[in-house]
Structure 1
Amino acid sequence: MKRDLVCGILMLALAIAYYSVAAAIPHSMLADSVGPQGLPISYAIVLGILSLLLIANTLLGRGGGVHAVVSAGKNTVKSDRYAALRAAGMVLMGAAYIAILPWLGYILSLALLIFFVAWYLERRLTPWMLPIAAAGGVVFWVIFVEILQVPQPAGLWPSLI
């Protein structure tokens, strides 16, 4: 419980500092309606909201908190180690996604990321994982490349055609 409260307070302080830095970004005559501050300020607000939720959740004693730690006893160290290893696995998948993105392109790399994250979290293969991963890659490509006009790496595929 103490750890969550401290983490929430530190993240709230980080959100406030990040917001102040993002708000200080100068406006540009070439900027769109959102401006160069839009995304960083949005990140700061979301981080602040999530931090406040973590603080409130901890203070209200929801989500197990102290009771789960007291009843767990010796298993707490094992579960913390297991959670850290699971988190490290997620970070490694993100790093692999970044590494293969220039070669495989956005759609295939994202579809593979969705597939492996679902498999990693579910701990088994289901018949829906592959179609959902493929659809997710295409949907996010349409959103970012076609609708928002954010260029993404095409990978090797255009050179093969």
Structure 2
Amino acid sequence: MTSIVMCTAAGATLLLGAPAEAAAPVGWRTSPAITDKWYCGATTNGRVFSIQACIIDNGGSYYQGAVLVRNRSTATRSASAVITSDRVSNGSCAASGIGASSYSVCFAPPASVSPGVWINVYGGAYDVPLRQEISASMQIGIIQTT
């Protein structure tokens, strides 16, 4: 049996939700279903957007990275996002409009991860009109339990 232990990221968030869907989402989603467990790092604020890097436990040994991009302005804004990791798949989302006072999530493809390793996920968003980059990170350890 595999479990997750939070090891870093003061102010980290754990979100619990419905069981994972048969096909994990990839790319931008404006209203994603929350899968098994989300582990999100601290929020990083830019001038218009706030972002959080997350690691999602899809059940079993599958994990994926995600970046939550929140538009804090009163107008639709364009942003792109990128996810890099040392253990799970990398991903990116092309520039897209994010509604006023709304959010969108960029998902990387899921990947199988063995117990006994650290997963590091780094997320970034680029505010297209302002040409401003912001970044965030999240790290968890996967351990074997008995």
TM-score (norm 1): 0.18
- Structure showing the higher helix proportion among its residues: 1
Say which structure, 1 or 2, has more relative contact order (CA 8 Å, 6+ apart). 2
TM-score (norm 2): 0.19
Between structure 1 and structure 2, the one with the greater Rg is 1
- Structure showing the higher strand proportion among its residues: 2
